[in-house]
């Protein structure tokens, strides 16, 4: 079975995929590299490739999905399948870009917790019984990564290129997945990716917002498992 590389979202680590690691790692090698060591997408993708197996299945959520698109652009022959979850193939919108500088300034001034609490976390989740626990985990991940990672990731997102041409050219099995109530990366971004990618499957997860890996973990694990079986069948 091919290894699986999962790339977490902004200010998240492997804990974002905890349920999926538990569900899938018994049958295959699952790796979750960090994506906070550089301030541009090209360098972040090269770092992933430097540490990845020769050929692998690749999934990413949110910023992790954006990095995954760049990995597939740089080394399409190494990426046997691509899973893009709650993400965005477009360049940064000007309205969001304008908010980056004040957030970076606050983080550098020691106010990362306030930025995460007031400006980031409220957009992550739909209502559900585990909402508070997931938000607490998101804060723990963010504070463990720290303000310098926040700054580098913010700059990489701000300056990212449009990846729609890359997706149009990708020929491997693709999974496009999003939470039904994702406010940060809404369904229309995923229907766009699904339309661009010739071999993609679109799955919309009910009862989830931007982090379905934690909000509806069993549904996401099942979708990833089906996608991986398709890749294994071809490999």
**In the prediction, which pLDDT does 129 show?**
82
Domains along the sequence of the chain with CATH: 4-93+154-234 (3.40.50.1820)
pLDDT in tens, the chain (235 residues): 999 999 999 999 999 999 999 999 988 999 999 999 999 999 999 999 999 999 999 999 999 999 999 999 999 999 999 999 999 999 999 989 999 999 999 999 999 999 998 887 777 788 888 889 999 999 999 999 999 999 999 999 999 999 999 999 999 999 999 999 999 999 999 999 999 999 999 999 999 999 999 999 999 999 999 999 999 988 7
Alpha-helix runs per DSSP H in the chain: 18-24, 41-51, 63-74, 94-108, 112-115, 131-145, 147-158, 164-169, 187-196, 212-215, 217-234
**In the prediction, which pLDDT does 120 show?**
77
**In the prediction, which pLDDT does 26 show?**
86
The CA-atom distances, in angstroms, between 84 and each of 11, 26, 65, 67, 200 are 18, 22, 5, 10, 10
- CA–CA separation, 189 and 87 (whole Å): 8
Q: Answer yes or no: pTM beyond 0.85.
A: yes
């Amino acid at each position: 079975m091919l290894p699986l590389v999962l790339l977490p979202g902004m200010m998240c680590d492997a804990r974002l995929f905890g349920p999926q690691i538990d569900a899938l790692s018994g049958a295959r090698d699952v790796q979750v590299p960090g994506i906070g060591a550089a301030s541009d997408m090209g360098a972040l993708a090269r770092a992933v490739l430097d540490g990845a197996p020769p050929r692998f299945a690749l999934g990413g959520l949110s910023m992790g999905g954006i990095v995954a698109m760049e990995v597939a652009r740089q080394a399409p022959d190494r990426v046997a399948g691509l899973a893009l979850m709650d993400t965005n193939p477009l360049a940064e919108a000007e309205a969001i870009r304008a908010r980056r500088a004040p957030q970076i300034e606050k983080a550098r001034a020691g106010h990362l917790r306030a930025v995460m609490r007031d400006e980031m976390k409220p957009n992550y989740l739909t209502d559900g019984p585990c909402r508070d626990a997931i938000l607490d985990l998101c804060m723990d991940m963010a504070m463990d990564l720290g303000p310098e990672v926040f700054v580098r990731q913010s700059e990489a997102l701000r300056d990212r290129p449009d990846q729609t041409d890359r997706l149009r050219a990708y020929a491997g099995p693709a999974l496009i997945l999003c939470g039904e109530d994702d406010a940060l990366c809404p369904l229309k971004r995923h229907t766009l990716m699904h339309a661009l990618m010739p071999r993609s499957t679109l799955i919309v997860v009910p009862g989830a917002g931007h982090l379905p890996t934690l909000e509806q973990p069993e549904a996401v694990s099942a979708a990833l498992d089906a996608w991986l079986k398709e890749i294994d069948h071809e490999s």
